[in-house]
Structure 1
Amino acid sequence: MFILLVEEIEGVMLGALRRKAASGASSASVCGKSFYKLKPAGSASRVSSAVVEEINCIRGFGNVRTFCHLPSAGKTMYLMPKREVLNSSLKNVNLQNGSRPFSSDSDGDVFEAVVPFMGESITDGILATFLKKPGDRVEVDEPIAQIETDKVTIDVNSPEAGVIKEFVAKEGDTVEPGTKVAIISKSGEGATHVAPSDEKPSEKSPSSPSPPAEEIKEKQTPKVETKPAVAKPKGPPPKHSASEPQLPPKERERRVPMTRLRKRVSTRLKDSQNTFALLTTFNEVDMTNLMKLRSDYKDVFAEKHGVKLGLMSGFVKAAISALQKQPIVNAVIDGDDIIYRDYVDISIAVGTPKGLVVPVLRNAENMNFAEVEKEINNLAKKANDGSISIDEMAGGTLTISNGGVYGSLISTPIINPPQSAILGMHSIVSRPMVVGGNIVPRPMMYIALTYDHRLIDGREAVFFLRRIKDVVEDPHRLLLDV
């Protein structure tokens, strides 16, 4: 660009010089501005500032103010801009071409907090609540709002440390990734501080003068004496017909909109009920040996692995063994095909205050008891504090739901699509059982398997539960693979 500029300037100047030299003039002019003729090689020569300004107007480079040249003998003279002038011009050109900084302010003081990417299958969410108020101080990556999606709750974090200037979106708005939520000011200028109390200022100023007593007397309405009305005797209360229902008063009811997570759960469960041929089979498990194993090794286990030994890891290992012996339970229908999975991803149903979530143990067939317990604790903690991600809940080949932690005795769980079965665990109850011809108390648990009868026959479902029963009642089978 500057080479073209130099060649164009050279052509204009030399043409003017030739015309003036022919007429005997000692100076030439360009665009109405005069300049000196170029002297022979080796002598100093300069261009007047007025000519430079006129040339700048021609080329559109308002920041180019100084030119220098070094003519040499027998060579064409070129005009080159100085380095600092070149840098200044390039900066102006970049700004004119639309290059803008991230901040909306020239000094980079203001930043925008936007909705982050929420996952491949999630396109929007509901702005559930603001965790901060305008005027509050926030640090980098500190959550300032929460977005409710179909599956998880996602935080909107502050891009920079500063003060919340204002909120752009409102609670209850449907937002998409990239939607502006708040404006953060690094310096705190222009931030609106919210008073801690919600008390409204009194409409009447305490400093306003009160009207004179005489005016108050004049404005008073004269009293009119009225005779007290004779109370009419009340009639009997209206009789309600026998068919008219006695409804509770509306003021004792509350209407709350469903969360996105609750809507998603209800939709998926209803789709499961409408799509699958649901059937449930039951069995009961004697928990004596598994509970004894846990009691004998819980201290040593916790000391070595840093996690408590629970009953869930025993059922996960038993379910993995049952899936390997009955691979059809680990399969799924896809159109007119059956997809067999040669891996085992166990989904663990976790009930949270916001709804049911189902994190997944990836490649559970390669985990030992300690790894299963650690991963379950980690995923359950994330689910309860709302930090679990979409990827940690995607997929799964079999779901285990432990309703026993809430005291459930028996239930018929619903399949989590697109899986083909779900295993339900229940509470442990001491019941009289016949063992060796004697009636003895035993800690018993009912287990249930709900399966898609389009794919899984009753024979495979019963064998699946029988394998879980055998492994839980005799954990040594896992060591011997029998």
Structure 2
Amino acid sequence: MSSFSALRSTVLRSNRPSSFSHLRTPSSRLFHIKARMPSLIATRAAPRSSHPSLQQWRSYADSVTIKVPPMAESISEGTLKQWLKEVGEQVEQDEEIATIETDKIDVAVNAPQAGILKELLVEADTTVTVGQDLAKLEPGEGAPKPAKEETKKEEPNSSPPQKTDQPKSTEKTPEPKKVEENPKKADIIPPPTTHPAPAADGIGNRGEQRVKMNRMRLRTGERLKQSQNTAASLTTFNEVDMSAVMEMRSLYKNVVLEKTGVKLGFVSFFTKACILAMKDVPVVNASIEGPNGGDTIVYRDYVDVSIAVATEKGLVTPVIRNAETLDLVGIDKAISELGEKARNGKITLEDLAGGTFTISNGGVFGSLMGTPIINLPQSAVLGRSYVL
């Protein structure tokens, strides 16, 4: 056996191939795999940043998508009014970066976390829906803030060379030279702006401006027209002597202002009078609901008064909840707070929802009489005017 094994080893050594790939023994395959491992390790050890596709994948995976936030059950879309931040700017967590205009209120889009705004997916004045992608945010803090200061500092430094370059640019331009070389032709040809067309016709300025209406004005007009087509309404005018109310207000308005900080106005008197009238005539505080214009009258034990407030965007009617439980000072305080929120654009859907009776004031515009339109599904509305 020893001679046979020695002979076999001699034959194997003499017939050993130059490449180990032809050997089929388990030990040779294992050696072949071990020989290739250094090359595999070298390729895996290469930095990811050297591969452009890996960089793109990494940046895409690290970015956060900002979506259109939920608005309300009855509102599913809006118009992206404006971007408050630009690409490359640093934003903080919960900072407002955009505003979406809906039929009733403006919805703020806040950053879910601090980072850098990398990409805007939607342009301004575009209709967006709830859940739609708006922008890409790269998480991080404080990187571009010093860059803004550097750009601001560079602007005044770059302005002086611009002033010094201005005469050089005028010397290089050939157009003024041609005018100077041919002064006779300039005298013969009259300037076209000396005889404008509107002045020749003797009519005057006939310019036009086209401004797209916002969603709130469009929705308000749509609902008012729907009310005109649906509700069979009747308007009555009544003259009321307000001398006693005016005397009472003049006596106590300063005292109320010093004690409560609330300005005593006339709206609270009208609101209180309407609440007392609704107790005697409950149908005024009721609403008509049901198909085909309504077939059911809903009577209520509470009074939620909608007060019309004119804003720059349109007319809104915030609601005073349970107005029957408030006194004159409480009503004036609620009206002042809701009016301020509406004018500052901070009104919410909860402030506008509901309402069993509406009070409008056309007297602030100087009108003596007016026929306000019923705010559906309410059954009545009060329009008031002042004659002092």
TM range (shorter): 0.5 to 0.7
Tell me what 1:445 maps to.
none
Distance apart, 1:190 and its partner CA? 8.8
Q: Give, in whole Å, the separation in 2 of the partners of 1:329 and 1:248.
A: 52
Query: Residue 265 of structure 2 aligns to which amino acid in structure 1?
Result: G
Contact 1:165-1:190 at 8 Å conserved across structures:
no
Tell me what 1:338 maps to.
297
1:354 is paired with a residue whose SS is: coil
Tell me what 1:315 maps to.
270
Larger helix proportion, structure 1 or 2? Answer: 2
Distance apart, 1:379 and its partner CA? 0.9
1:181 is paired with a residue whose SS is: strand
Q: Give, in whole Å, the separation in 1 of the partners of 2:378 and 2:60.
A: 49
Distance apart, 1:274 and its partner CA? 0.7
Q: 2:96 aligns with which of 140, 143, 152?
A: 143
Distance apart, 1:394 and its partner CA? 1.1
Q: Give, in whole Å, the separation in 2 of the partners of 1:336 and 1:409.
A: 35
Distance apart, 1:350 and its partner CA? 0.3
**TM-score under structure 2 normalisation?**
0.67
Answer yes or no: is 1:383 the counterpart of 2:383. no
Answer yes or no: is 1:166 the counterpart of 2:125. no
Contact 2:90-2:144 at 8 Å conserved across structures:
no
Deviations 1:336-368 (A, max 9, x none): 222212211100000000101110011111112
Query: Residue 109 of structure 2 aligns to which amino acid in structure 1?
Result: V
Deviations 1:134-181 (A, max 9, x none): 233433322221111111111111222343333221111111122222
Answer yes or no: is 1:420 the counterpart of 2:379. yes
Tell me what 2:85 maps to.
132
Following superposition of structure 1 onto structure 2, how do residues 254-273 of structure 1 map, counting pairs within 5 Å? 254-273=209-228
Instruction: Give the aligned length.
Output: 302
Q: Give, in whole Å, the separation in 2 of the partners of 1:104 and 1:313.
A: 57
2:360 is paired with a residue whose SS is: strand
Q: Give, in whole Å, the separation in 1 of the partners of 2:92 and 2:272.
A: 44
Deviations 1:274-321 (A, max 9, x none): 111122101112221112212222232223323221111111111100
Larger strand proportion, structure 1 or 2? Answer: 1
Following superposition of structure 1 onto structure 2, how do residues 35-434 of structure 1 map, counting pairs within 5 Å? 105-106=61-62, 110-185=63-138, 186-187=140-141, 252-334=207-289, 335-429=294-388
Contact 1:403-1:426 at 8 Å conserved across structures:
yes
Tell me what 2:42 maps to.
none
Residues 423 and 136 from structure 1, CA distance in 2 versus in 1: closer, same or farther, beyond 3 angstroms?
A: same
Following superposition of structure 1 onto structure 2, how do residues 19-38 of structure 1 map, counting pairs within 5 Å? none
Q: Give, in whole Å, the separation in 2 of the partners of 1:261 and 1:379.
A: 18
Deviations 1:66-125 (A, max 9, x none): xxxxxxxxxxxxxxxxxxxxxxxxxxxxxxxxxxxxx9544xxx4333221111100100
Q: Give, in whole Å, the separation in 2 of the partners of 1:154 and 1:248.
A: 43
**TM-score under structure 1 normalisation?**
0.55
Q: Give, in whole Å, the separation in 2 of the partners of 1:326 and 1:249.
A: 56
Distance apart, 1:324 and its partner CA? 0.9
Query: Residue 305 of structure 1 aligns to which amino acid in structure 2?
Result: T
Contact 1:359-1:393 at 8 Å conserved across structures:
yes
Distance apart, 1:408 and its partner CA? 2.4
Query: Residue 392 of structure 1 aligns to which amino acid in structure 2?
Result: D
Contact 2:89-2:144 at 8 Å conserved across structures:
no
Query: Residue 91 of structure 2 aligns to which amino acid in structure 1?
Result: V
Q: Give, in whole Å, the separation in 2 of the partners of 1:314 and 1:308.
A: 13
Contact 2:114-2:141 at 8 Å conserved across structures:
no
Contact 1:323-1:329 at 8 Å conserved across structures:
yes
In structure 1, runs of 5+ residues without a counterpart are 1-31, 34-49, 51-102, 198-205, 211-215, 221-226, 232-245, 430-482
2:93 is paired with a residue whose SS is: coil
2:71 is paired with a residue whose SS is: coil
Q: Give, in whole Å, the separation in 2 of the partners of 1:180 and 1:137.
A: 19
Q: Give, in whole Å, the separation in 2 of the partners of 1:145 and 1:428.
A: 45
Q: Give, in whole Å, the separation in 1 of the partners of 2:204 and 2:231.
A: 39
Q: Give, in whole Å, the separation in 2 of the partners of 1:326 and 1:267.
A: 30
Q: Give, in whole Å, the separation in 2 of the partners of 1:247 and 1:279.
A: 45
User: Which structure is larger by alpha-carbon Rg, 1 or 2?
Assistant: 1
1:113 is paired with a residue whose SS is: strand
Residues 347 and 188 from structure 1, CA distance in 2 versus in 1: closer, same or farther, beyond 3 angstroms?
A: same
Contact 1:154-1:387 at 8 Å conserved across structures:
no
